Amino acid sequence: MLNIVLFGPPGSGKGTQAKFLEEKYQTPQISTGDLFRYNLKNETELGALAKSYMDKGQLVPDEVTTNMLVDHLDNNPNPQGFIFDGYPRTTAQAEALDKILTEKYQSEVSVTLALVVDDEILVQRLLERGKTSGRADDVDETIIRDRITEYYAKTAIVAEHYKAQGKWVEIDGVGTIEDITEKLNAAIKEVL
């Protein structure tokens, strides 16, 4: 299996790049952000719970997120791999992912590709997306900055988990979308 973790702060381009990788490697993109938004749109209990965190720019609790992920993985029988977009976002989630891949698929994370983008560029990208995305967490600059703060407080540390496993590759996330896709493909080639 080819299991890619796309990592990076909010607005670094994880979702944008995951779509290209999904097509090229024929492995489903698993976006926890999209799964929460799907639940929100369908007014599920999980959606209401997630909204209370997302609207404030905070992470949804680990247990809720991981349970949702496991349910979703169960809908993908016999996968060739996955592109994880936005999961894991905490060390507890990284440990949970290792366990899930081992126990369910006798597999592991192949590589973690971390997109590096300056904070001010992130803010500009997200405000720009907020003009059309309809996402409550993209319109207010204070909430956007809170999301970035949350990233440094809880998510950035996940790098240590993957560095210790020798599975951490940093990619400059500033440039054209095509250039960045090329750099990601070159890094994936190394682990195929």
* Residues of the binding site: 11-16, 32, 37, 58-60, 86-89, 93, 129, 135, 147, 175
3-state helix, strand, coil in the chain (%, to 5): 60, 15, 30
Q: Considering only residues 59, 97, 114, 188, which one is a binding residue for ligand B4P as defined by CB under 6 A?
A: 59
Q: Considering only residues 3, 4, 7, 11, which one is a binding residue for ligand B4P as defined by CB under 6 A?
A: 11
Size of residue set near ligand B4P by CB under 6 A: 29
Residues from 19 through 38 that contact ligand B4P (CB under 6 A): 32-33, 36
Task: Name which of 2 and 94 has its Cβ closer to ligand B4P.
Answer: 94
Give 172's strand partners.
116
Residues across the chain: 192
Residue 123 CB-density burial (10 A; 0-12 exposed, 13-18 middle, 19+ buried): middle
- Would you say the C-alpha torsion 31, 100, 72, 185 has a positive or negative sign? positive
In this structure, are residues 9 and 122 in contact, taking their beta carbons and an 8 Å threshold?
A: yes
The DSSP output letter for 81 is E
Going by the annotation, the residues of the binding site for ATP are 11-16, 129, 175
Residues from 69 through 128 that contact ligand B4P (CB under 6 A): 86-87, 89, 93, 125
Task: Name which of 123 and 191 has its Cβ closer to ligand B4P.
Answer: 123
CA distance 130 to 140: 8
Task: Name which of 8 and 28 has its Cβ closer to ligand B4P.
Answer: 8
Give 3's strand partners.
82
Regarding beta strands 2-7 and 111-116, do their DSSP bridges make them parallel or antiparallel, or are they unpaired? parallel
Going by the annotation, the residues of the binding site for AMP are 32, 37, 58-60, 86-89, 93, 135, 147
What minimum distance in Å lies between the beta carbon of 87 and ligand B4P? Answer: 4
53 scored as a contact of ligand B4P (CB under 6 A): yes
Which residues sit at the interface with ligand B4P, rule CB under 6 A?
A: 8, 10-16, 32-33, 36, 53-54, 57-60, 65, 86-87, 89, 93, 125, 129, 137, 147, 175, 177, 180
